Amino acid sequence: MIAAALTAVVLLAQTPALSEDCGSDADTLAREAETLLAEAGPRPSAATLDRARRLYRRARLLSPSAPFSLRAADLASAAGDEEESGDLLSEAAEGDPKLVSPAERLILARRGEARRQWRDAIAQYGHLRAALASDPGATAWIDGKIGRLEVEVEAQAISAPTIGQAPPEARLALADGRRALAVGDLPKARERLTLAWKLSPGYVEAALALAALETRESRAPEAIRAYRDALAADPNRLEALVGLANVLWDEPDRAAKEESLSLLDRAAAARPDAISLLKLAATRWAEWGDAAKALNRIDTFRRRAGAGEKRTTENFRETLARRVDAQLSGEAEPGGGPSPSEAPLEGASPAIDQWKIAQAYFRRGDPASLASALEHLGEAERLDPAFARAPELAGALHEKRGELALARAAYERAIAADPSRAATYERLALLLDRQPGREADAEEAWRRAEQAGSSEALFHLAETAGRGGRRGEALSLYRRYLAESPGGVHAEDVTRAIAALESSRRVSVLVLGLALLFVVLAAGAFAYRRVAGRTFEEWLREEPARAREARPIVGRLRHEVLKHGGLLLADAANRLSEPDPEARRAAARLLLSRLFGSRGREGRGGLIHQASDSFARLNALAEEDGHRLNLERKDRLFSPIAEGCRVLRGLEPALSRIAEDPEKVEGNDVRHVAEGLRRAAALFRSNTGAEVSRLLDEASSTRVRLSELQDVLLRVCAEKGVAPPPVLEPLGQLLRDSSGSIAVRVDRGDWDTIWRNLLANALDAAGAMPVSEVRLGVSAELLRDPVTGAPTARFILADNLPGALTAEMIRGRAADRGWGIVADLVRRHDGTADVGPAPAPGYGKGVVLELPALEPEGPP
Amino acid sequence: MSRVLTLLVVEDGTEYTDAFRSLAATDPRFPIELVRAGDCEEARRVLSERSVDAVFLDVVFDRTPPERLVGDLESEIRRFGGDQRRAERHLAENQGFYLFNDVAQLLPEAVPVVLAYDFSAEPERLTALRKRRERLSGVPDGTPIFRVLEILSADI
């Protein structure tokens, strides 16, 4: 019909030349032409032929019948005008197919092929096949011909790809633009991205980035234009398909929405793994009013989705199913969407035609077509090794055939041909993602895709980072994805992921904060335990009188823990290391008995109990004075003992196992126990008990000096109004020599009290005796206990006072109050008080005090 | 040490005896024969029956009944102003010294005696006691049992 119309137009244009024929009808004109030709004979002249052709043109104008066209075709052929002859023959065949013979059909078909008018050629071959239908064997070749021509038709419809990679300036501008986009400098981003596109028209990444920017800015027309540019450069680019679909869907006009639906379906078909596209498509088809298509897509989605997603779409599917039922009962379904616009053909590479044919075969999908496609792609690669689309399509084709290694090799060839093409990296990465154990290779491919400008890669890298626990990196990548591809295929998933990550981060921060608080509190508690409280030394310095009560506790600690522990532990550790299991068993039993033995056993319990008990008793003493001791953590003398006990406590389970069955206990466990014992022994040795005793002595001892006793006498005289006070005469070398001294194990307070009472009683005993006649003298000497060898200080207060004084009077409770106090204090300090002879002439008697003393510093 | 050491251990429990026995069972350097006495009377009996190469004396005998403690209790009571409990406690806490005072007289001069007392802060006290018996030693706190045996077996 189109050919006929064109011919009519031509004829009309020639009408003025036929003015002489005006007013004739078509048949008259035809007869006139035939008359001319008949008169000219079998070989008419060119002028006659020309005249006859014009008459027939006029007749066809008045009556466009097929016979007139057929006769005109014959005349054109006779005149050597094969082009017009073919056109007219075609017109005649179109007007009345029966007029055209099979041979003429074949001529018309060949003519269509020669002109690359594939559809016309297919139609002619179709008529030819129909004309020869009575002999199927004779038409088999026509079927093959038609099949190949249909591939040509499809190939013709395929856009030629953009060739070559973007120049460095364009890539630089794109990178600048993305950076500006990331920091929110949108004007600069737009300027740089536009520049990238201008520097390299067809630079799909630049177009996509620009489209994303415009979408973000709600500049729909600009966004649509940029997406269309991207699709023109790469018709199968997923981000472009989805991005454009989303922007168009928001447009008010119906055509835009129809195109949007079509694009979405294309995207879903291109990426079967992105099932969210199916769900989105279902939703939009439903919104559009086509429940059947929506149902089809949601069913496909649900077949691939997980249980949770199936549940959430259950109601939606039911709704769609009801709507479809309603439509089947009378309503017509809306028609399908328009075909996508395709970019115009470009022919920069000699391989493009082969690639397009391969593409057409690829779309058919049957094994034979795929094989043919591979042949064409091989030819395309041979023709232009730099044409990356050919190996890339070969990769996709191999994937479809399950030939993953070949697919990977093909993608590698495509990358070698064009390292700047993000889509190839994406395909390679998706391929590797599906192969177990190739996660690292896949991630690397995604990284290269990202470097080439793929927003899709950002999503996959974010997913990988999230799975790897790199939350910060995942969050950053997701945000970049949203910034660069706000309407992208994964936008919904990304938004959810960001929300989840931010929530997780808030929880992490909270947990971290709590952990930090816990650490601070624990550190505070630890510091408090280490720093708070007093040491044994500090306590005694403030409460020296407590030394007397602390001494036996410390003595027991030294004896039971330090001495017994020291004797036992190191050797027991050696014995535990013996190869003989019975030796180990015996050692373990001995240790258990000594360290943890029954507390009721002979009233003692084990070493650990003895230590704990000693610590508890010292703490209780200090608490009576309002002090809190920190022997376990702070005290340099006691903390090693506490630590040693802690170590020993930890060994009890292992020791019990060894004692029960030494052969069942691993060598490492036995070594651990032995090491623990040696460590405890070392801790017990680290501070000897002698040092603790020295502290007690220092705190509770008083170095005796004559001058200080004289001061006490002066104070007593002052209190009693005795004046002038008598002199306390030194009796013996020790007190005369100021360099020599005696230290008694009596604290200063008790020492003064003892002497105040002794001297006061003496003055009281003087009675009416004149002061000038009163003689008081004091002697001191250091003795040693004949049995224990312990140093003892003997003091004698001599006087010449009247009246009898006996030991019973001093020691007895019924004695005068002063004597009672003296007796009590002396007893408390493990001393004795007695009455003896005067140590020097001129004195009547002497009160004798014997008190424990410290070892003299110099020779006694 | 070339021959078996006969060691008399006088203690109110078995701590030292067990420790010596444990070491002797595992360390071939110290072949010892242990003889234990729980108080002074037992120690005297042992020494009357056999000779020993060394003597180890515990100091505190607070698990021993007061009547079995050696020492002049009456004198101690007098010393502590009639306080019998104090006197008994004094004897118990210093029993090792009283044992030394008593038993040492029964021993040849060459027999070493180790008293389980740390003289490290009271060297003069040890010196004073050594006037009665030169081969007297103390045991600093934390001393391992093998070290005690080394002291006891010296020159044997």
B144:A590 CB<8 A: no
Contacts of A562 in chain B (CB under 8 A): 141-142
A688:B144 CB<8 A: no
**What does the pLDDT read at residue A522?**
87
Other CB atoms closer than 10 Å to residue A298's CB: what's the count? 24
Note the maximum CA span of chain B: 52
- pLDDT band (50, 70, 90) for residue B37: very high
Distances (CA, A) of A784 to A75, A781, A792, A853, B129: 160, 10, 5, 9, 10
Whether the CB of B80 is below 8 Å from some CB of chain A: the reply is yes
Reported as a single tens digit per residue, the pLDDT across A614-661 is: 999 999 999 998 888 988 888 888 999 999 999 999 999 999 999 999
Contacts of B26 in chain A (CB under 8 A): 574-575, 578, 583
Local mean pLDDT, 10-residue blocks, chain A (860 residues): 42 44 75 90 88 87 84 89 85 83 87 83 88 79 86 76 72 84 81 89 86 78 89 83 85 82 86 80 85 86 83 84 70 38 46 85 86 91 87 89 91 86 84 86 88 81 88 88 73 86 85 91 80 87 85 85 82 83 86 75 70 92 90 88 92 91 87 91 80 82 86 89 82 64 86 90 82 87 90 90 76 61 84 84 88 73
Contacts of B15 in chain A (CB under 8 A): 564, 567-568, 594
Across residues B74-103, what is the average pLDDT? 90
Nearest of A792, A731, A748, A800 to residue A770 by alpha carbon: A800
ipTM of the shown complex? 0.91
Whether the CB of B145 is below 8 Å from some CB of chain A: the reply is yes
**What does the pLDDT read at residue A726?**
83
Other CB atoms closer than 10 Å to residue A622's CB: what's the count? 24
How far does CA A738 lie from the centroid of its chain?
Answer: 79
Q: What does pLDDT average to over chain B?
A: 88
Whole-angstrom distance, CA of residue A766 vs CA of residue A760: 10
**What does the pLDDT read at residue A329?**
57
A571:B19 CB<8 A: yes
**A742: Cβ contacts below 8 Å, ≥ 6 apart:** A703, A704, A734, A780, A782, A793, A853, A856
Distances (CA, A) of A67 to A73, A82, A98, A671, A836: 10, 18, 11, 116, 172
Whole-angstrom distance, CA of residue A591 vs CA of residue A594: 5
Contacts of A823 in chain B (CB under 8 A): 81
Whether the CB of B74 is below 8 Å from some CB of chain A: the reply is no
Q: How far is A773 from chain B (nearest CA, A)?
A: 33
Contacts of B18 in chain A (CB under 8 A): 590, 594
Sheet holding A791-799, edge to edge: A728-730, A776-784, A791-799, A845-852, A832-836
Give yes or no for a contact between A780 and A718, defined as CB atoms under 8 angstroms apart: no
Identify the closest residue of chain A to B100 by CA–CA distance: A787
Nearest of A818, A562, A521 to residue A691 by alpha carbon: A562
A575:B18 CB<8 A: no
**What does the pLDDT read at residue A339?**
33
Task: Give me the residue label for tokens 């079995």.
Answer: B68
Whether the CB of A577 is below 8 Å from some CB of chain B: the reply is no
Whether the CB of A828 is below 8 Å from some CB of chain B: the reply is no
Q: In chain B, how many H helices and how many E strands?
A: 7, 5
Q: What angle do CA A284, A285, A287 make, to 5 degrees?
A: 60
Candidates A586, A685, A811; nearest CB to B142: A685
Whole-angstrom distance, CA of residue A179 vs CA of residue A192: 10
Amino acid A514 reads L
Contacts of B140 in chain A (CB under 8 A): 688, 690
Whether the CB of A740 is below 8 Å from some CB of chain B: the reply is no
**What does the pLDDT read at residue A11?**
44
Q: What are phi and psi of B136, to 5 degrees?
A: -110, 135
Q: Specify the pairing of strand B136-138 against strand A791-799.
A: unpaired
Nearest of A841, A845, A839, A844 to residue A735 by alpha carbon: A839
**What does the pLDDT read at residue A344?**
34
**What does the pLDDT read at residue A598?**
57
Candidates B59, B121, B142; nearest CB to A694: B121
Whole-angstrom distance, CA of residue A392 vs CA of residue A23: 66
Q: What percent of chain B has pLDDT over 70?
A: 97
B81:A681 CB<8 A: no
Nearest of A169, A188, A121 to residue A149 by alpha carbon: A121
The full 3-state SS of A168-206, as one line of letters, equals HHHHHHHHHHHHHHHCCCHHHHHHHHHHHHHHCCCCHHH
Long-range Cβ pairs for the range A286-293 (8 Å, 24+): A286/A316, A286/A319, A286/A320, A286/A323, A288/A257, A288/A258, A288/A261, A288/A334, A289/A334, A290/A333, A290/A334, A291/A320, A291/A323, A291/A324, A291/A326, A291/A327, A292/A324, A292/A327, A292/A333, A293/A333
First to last CA, chain A: 145
B26:A574 CB<8 A: yes
Whole-angstrom distance, CA of residue A474 vs CA of residue A504: 12
**What does the pLDDT read at residue B155?**
56
Whether the CB of A784 is below 8 Å from some CB of chain B: the reply is yes
Q: How far is A569 from chain B (nearest CA, A)?
A: 8
Identify the closest residue of chain A to B23 by CA–CA distance: A571
B120:A688 CB<8 A: yes
Tokens in use for A399? Answer: 């994937």
Q: How far is B130 from chain A (nearest CA, A)?
A: 10
Whether the CB of B59 is below 8 Å from some CB of chain A: the reply is yes
**Residues within 8 A of A (CB atoms), B 81-140 only:** 81-83, 86, 90, 93-94, 97-98, 101, 116, 118, 120-126, 128-129, 139-140
Contacts of A585 in chain B (CB under 8 A): none
**What does the pLDDT read at residue A673?**
92
Reported as a single tens digit per residue, the pLDDT across B5-20 is: 899 999 998 888 888 8
Whole-angstrom distance, CA of residue A397 vs CA of residue A359: 10
Whole-angstrom distance, CA of residue A808 vs CA of residue A804: 11
Identify the closest residue of chain A to B79 by CA–CA distance: A832
**What does the pLDDT read at residue B61?**
93
Query: Could you tell me the pTM of the whole model?
Result: 0.49
- pLDDT band (50, 70, 90) for residue B68: very high
Domains of chain A listed by start with CATH number: 2-157 (1.25.40.10), 168-243 (1.25.40.10), 532-696 (no CATH), 701-852 (3.30.565.10)
Candidates B79, B93, B123; nearest CB to A832: B79
Reported as a single tens digit per residue, the pLDDT across A251-276 is: 767 888 889 999 988 888 877 777 87
**What does the pLDDT read at residue B10?**
96
Contacts of A782 in chain B (CB under 8 A): none
Contacts of A787 in chain B (CB under 8 A): 71, 94, 97-98, 101
